[in-house]
Homo-oligomer: A and B are copies of this chain.
């Protein structure tokens, strides 16, 4: 069952707001067996909204709108929907009661603008929004469905989870089946991996697709079975293909779930009851930041040292001053001493360290920008390796961070 998402609001077009709603909706719909084939973002402009709705209704059965139904002047979605469905707005006592209830809870009084939120189109089913004042409206016409929701993420999420997806499932049952299998790989360039898998891809049945989702230093592979065939068949086919895929890239598989490298790191540490630390120079705290972005990371992340200056490498991590001057900060001995120092100073079980030239400046003929030494240490063992990245500063930092986590992940998994 094909779906199109239309997000409405000038703020999306000039980039004031990153559209995270669409991604979340895409994930939830995909899980529920509905397939988003297009997403469109338009401004608060009647003509553009009408065009987008018309185009969507023509090519899919389900159209989901978010945004443009707030109390302020610039929000015109309700009026525009009346125009499209040849309807008019009326004052809904039911919606108003919900607004009053919400305001009572937070001890606020309803003003004119908010009261106007109870004006809804006649030719639709109103779905109460228990999390906000803007109502959700559900239109049906010629077998097509259009649903208008607020753009406020948690209101939209509440409505999708509790109302829209259950209603869509009830209405359309399960005409289409989608199954995804994700595999994280490392040690390949995208093109090398694609060549390795060329034959495999050729033999894929028409309803199965293989997608490459590269990140700096890592590649996520996603097998998707999508079609009219039965649930069980899809499941069997993709499971068999996934096993075949794993044989083809044996030794390069990082994870077989759709989890970021920092999540994989966390789970590996929890499984072994270990704590880790970081000693970062060129990555400048990014590794620690990635790890601590995950709720509950305090169970396995002790802390880190961002030893940006040589002075901090020496005084906090105990890197030898002699080695610093003899080999330079971007060198094996320094990065090895950094990770060992992190374990000692932070009192953790294992650690990663990075020292390199992120660029654009600071490079030399022997050590050009993009040269990064990475070390991982666990149980008295330190593995260090030099990398040569060719990217811009931001990319080199991300890649070095991923590679550092990868190095430790492999070290503790082997141990």
Interfacial residues, chain A to chain B (CB-CB below 8 A):
10-20, 22-28, 30, 35-45, 48, 51-52, 55, 59, 70-74, 102, 105-108, 111-114, 117, 131, 152, 154, 158, 180, 189-192, 194-195, 198, 201, 209-214, 220, 222, 224, 258, 275, 277-278, 280, 283-289, 291-293, 295-298, 301-309, 311-312, 315-316, 345-347, 358-362, 368, 370, 388-395, 397
Contacts and interface: CB of A to CB of B under 8 A. Distances in A.
- The list of the 8 closest CB pairs from A to B, nearest first, reads A284-B292, A285-B288, A15-B26, A285-B285, A113-B191, A15-B27, A303-B312, A15-B23
14 contacts: A10-B211, A12-B22, A12-B39, A13-B39, A15-B25, A15-B30, A74-B210, A105-B390, A285-B288, A293-B397, A304-B306, A304-B308, A305-B305, A315-B346
Nearest to A112: B195
Nearest to A52: B38
Copies of this chain present in the complex amount to 2
B222 A71 contact: no
B108 A189 contact: yes
A100 to B, nearest CB: 12
Contacts of A30: 14-15
A292 B308 contact: yes
A260 to B, nearest CB: 11
A295 B106 contact: no
A23 B27 contact: no
A96 B390 CA distance: 16
Contact of A113 (B152, B195, B213): B195
A245 to B, nearest CB: 14
A153 to B, nearest CB: 8
A42 B13 CA distance: 17
B38 A13 contact: yes
Nearest to A101: B390
A280 to B, nearest CB: 8
B306 A305 contact: yes
Contacts of A212: 16, 70, 72, 74
B308 A303 contact: yes
Contact of A22 (B41, B285, B302, B347): B41
A48 B2 CA distance: 13
B71 A190 contact: yes
B370 A345 contact: no
A389 B195 CA distance: 49
A191 B114 contact: yes
A209 B307 CA distance: 45
A42 B48 contact: no
